[in-house]
């Protein structure tokens, strides 16, 4: 389920709950607004258990759901106190809320998908080359980063000594579900058996993978699996191959799903 679905689906739930709450006269408008904002928010928190989207995405849902409930409460209060033309204050509050929703939705889209191609080329340039404007993640600096670089170089050296020839097919296919096939050969071209393989898929900059797909052996030197991407946007797919409990090969590839 994508962020856009949960965001606008939650907004619809806030509106429906507030309207349904009006059928119960014992509920005050303030309590109706509180329940209409909190119930979809609690449902969203239950939905993201085990797949944390990040504090920024969760904060956007909190602000939008509660702001929607506040706007509905303000409208109800105005209608109860006046039968004339609407005061400018509720109009300003509504305009601010609508602008907030579209601004948050736009920022979420750009963060996960980047700017549309023509807009990115016009705004950022590129000299006729593709322009990638999605968030590419962050790299920490300091002693820990230096150790990570040293470890990466050592691992690359070990992989070059092993000399495995790895071919990954199916990752660039279209659609959310992709059948994968990994062929592993040694430096002489013979298939490598008894390899433990997995594919980790994560957002750029995310500390933990969103999907971890184990690969099963189909025949000598061939390992397969079916990958289902949890949403659109940009993803990093890391292929890890181990032998005897030791990591022997790994590579990372970027995926883009509309």
Q: What class, spelled out in words, does domain 161-257 have in CATH?
A: mainly beta
Residue 105 binned pLDDT confidence (cut-offs 50, 70, 90): confident
Exposed e or buried b for every residue in 86-117, given b needs 16+ CB within 10 A? eeeebeebeeebeeebeebbeebbbbbbbbee
CA dist list (Å): 228 to 40, 77, 189, 245, 256: 27, 47, 31, 26, 13
Q: What percentage of the chain reaches a pLDDT higher than 70?
A: 78
pLDDT digits (tens, 9 = 90+) for 131-171: 666 655 544 544 444 444 445 545 554 555 567 888 999 98
Domain ranges of the chain: 3-124, 161-257
Exposed/middle/buried for residue 141 (C-beta within 10 Å: 0-12, 13-18, 19+): exposed
Q: Which two tokens stand for residue 80?
A: 């109860």
Q: Which two tokens stand for residue 201?
A: 């898929």
pLDDT digits (tens, 9 = 90+) for 21-75: 888 877 888 888 889 889 999 999 998 887 777 777 788 888 888 888 888 887 7
- The model carries a pTM of 0.47
């Amino acid at each position: 389920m994508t962020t856009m679905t949960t965001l606008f689906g939650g907004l619809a739930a806030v509106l429906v709950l507030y309207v349904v709450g009006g059928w119960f006269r014992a509920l005050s408008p303030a309590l109706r607004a509180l329940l209409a904002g909190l119930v979809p928010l609690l449902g969203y928190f239950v939905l993201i258990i085990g797949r944390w989207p990040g504090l920024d995405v969760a904060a956007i849902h909190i602000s939008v759901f509660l702001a929607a409930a506040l706007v509905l409460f303000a409208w109800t209060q105005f209608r109860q106190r006046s039968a004339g033309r609407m005061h400018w204050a509720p109009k300003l509050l509504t305009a601010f809320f609508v602008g907030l929703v579209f601004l948050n939705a736009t920022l979420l889209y750009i963060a996960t998908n980047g700017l549309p191609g023509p807009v990115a080329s016009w705004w950022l340039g590129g000299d006729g080359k593709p322009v990638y404007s999605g968030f590419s993640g962050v790299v920490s600096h300091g002693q820990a980063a230096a150790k990570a670089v040293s470890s990466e170089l050592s691992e690359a050296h070990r992989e070059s000594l092993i000399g495995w020839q790895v071919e990954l097919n199916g990752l660039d296919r279209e659609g959310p579900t992709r059948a994968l096939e990994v062929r592993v050969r040694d430096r002489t071209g013979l298939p490598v058996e008894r390899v433990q393989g997995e594919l980790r898929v994560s957002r750029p900059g995310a500390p933990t993978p969103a999907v971890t797909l184990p690969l099963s052996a189909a025949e000598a030197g061939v390992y397969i699996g079916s990958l289902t991407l949890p949403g659109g946007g940009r993803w990093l797919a890391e292929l890890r191959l181990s032998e005897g409990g030791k990591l022997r090969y790994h590579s990372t590839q970027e995926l883009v799903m509309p």
